[in-house]
Amino acid sequence: MQPYVESLSTCPKHGLHNPFKSPERYLLYGDISAKAAHMLSVPKVLDFFTRLIQRVAPKSYQQALGEVQVTQKFLENFSGDQVRFLARSFAVPGNHLGQQSHGFRWPYGPVAIITPFNFPLEIPVLQLMGALYMGNKPVLKVDSKVCIVMEQMMRLLHYCGLPVEDVDFINSDGKTMNKLLLEANPRMTLFTGSSRVADKLAVDLKGRIKLEDAGFDWKILGPDVNEVDYVAWVCDQDAYACSGQKCSAQSILFMHENWSGTSLLSKMKDLAERRKLEDLTVGPVLTFTTEAIVEHMNKLLQIPGSKLLFGGKPLENHSIPSIYGALKPTAIYVPLEEMLKESNYELVTREIFGPFQIITDYKKDQLPLVLEALERMHAHLTAAVVSNDPLFLQEVIGKSVNGTTYAGLRARTTGAPQNHWFGPAGDPRGAGIGTPEAIKLVWSCHREIIYDIGPLPKHWEIPPST
């Protein structure tokens, strides 16, 4: 680890560049982004990274392709002058002639980035480039199961002009990375992953951290029933694409009683059952074994009134190692009143990072119970309110927290984040990704410089002591 510690120590706190130091590097990174965006648009390169993601992450070709396309669009977004615009400052008039206060975005200097297995290209590229745009020197660790994707992307970025000394790339286990962080003492660390690890790092790093951690993500279907086929398809995509291994995956669905009389659940069942291992529309679960998921399911089924809606059985005819999960897309119904009981709530809202969701329903006068369930959740990442009723939308959105919230008939919980903010709300440690606001929040801090150049008033004299 010593070379990594020494390399980070070469970067001063004021960064590799800032608005006063080496400003030409803002233009350099605009050019790098433009070249890398072009490379990822070349069909041969696009297919290479799509297939590479599929080799290490359980995704269909279309889901893996979407990840590459989001990354390509992000790089396009920050081509040309867009990097320097991230460092835009502002001025406020002072109290007297010659005084002005200026607010600048300032880098942290040496930083660290830790990203998970489920998006082996998109998350590390977007966070890495954001860190570099603002003038930081990052050490990057991607989950070892999938790090070959980012290793290849680093080579592409070097080909596009990225200075090799600007980024350190490490492949290690979590314990080694934790030790590196404690020894190298980066000024800021971005962590995307589990809440348990996030909370440990927040203590170890004395709060110098930004987090995009777990999400038990909810979707509410409002009283106005429309486009049942479409809503069922979106629910299936939200819950089961990438085998449910998205931090934005639909974890729980609250259906208004008006939806209970429709064919929604039967259509969701049909859509889930057409997923198959052959095309990776369902696949291995990398953080839960089959036994662990089934055990959790059986505990849920002991709750009075709960029932298995579909799935619940292991995948068949496969060679997935037993250390991974292999389960058919699964949905469990739990009555709302039972869910809210102290003895059940923690069990029902446990995030299972796989093709698994909870479904419940509510009556017209039970919306306060639904809002209570949302209030008690501890992870507030993504959410969806499926309704075109403006008063219903206003009440649910106004009494909830989730940072990325989709609202309207076409609302979903999962979505490509290169064109909008993606991140949690309600936690001062929360990180964002994708937008200029996210980059500035995570990868820079505010520095205020007050110019006070005079002149002094005529006949100025030293005043009495105060």
Catalytic residues: 212, 247
Using a 10 angstrom Cβ sphere, with 0-12 exposed, 13-18 middle and 19 or more buried, the burial of residue 301 is: middle
SS (H, E, C) the chain: CHHHHHHHHCCCCCCCCECCECCHHHHHHHHHHHHHHHHHHCHHHHHHHHHHHHHHCCCCHHHHHHHHHHHHHHHHHCCCCHHHHCCCCEEEECCCCCEEEEEEEECCCEEEEEECCCCCCHHHHHHHHHHHHCCCEEEEEECCCCHHHHHHHHHHHHHCCCCHHHCEEECCCHHHHHHHHHHHCCCEEEEECCHHHHHHHHHHCCCCEEEECCCCEEEEECCCCCCHHHHHHHHHHHHHHHHHCCCCCEEEEEEEHHHHCCCHHHHHHHHHHCCCHHHCCCCCECCCCHHHHHHHHHHHHCCCCCEEEECCCECCCCCCCCCCECECCEEEECCHHHHCCHHHHHHHCCCCCCCEEEEEEECHHHHHHHHHHHHHCCCCCEEEEECCCHHHHHHHHHCCCCCEEEECCCCCCCCCCCCCCECCCCCCCECCECCHHHHHHHHCEEEEEEEECCCCCCCCCCCCCC
Q: Which residues pair with 168 in a beta bridge?
A: 139
Question: Helix 43-56 to helix 61-77 angle, to the nearest 10 degrees?
Answer: 120
State how beta strands 99-106 and 90-93 pair. antiparallel
Using a 10 angstrom Cβ sphere, with 0-12 exposed, 13-18 middle and 19 or more buried, the burial of residue 330 is: buried
The rounded distance, in Å, linking the Cα atoms of 204 and 180 is 12
AA identity, residue 230? Y
Q: In degrees to the nearest 10, what's the CA dihedral of 194, 121, 421, 360?
A: -50
Q: Which residues contact 177 (CB under 8 A, 6 or more apart)?
A: 114, 141, 170
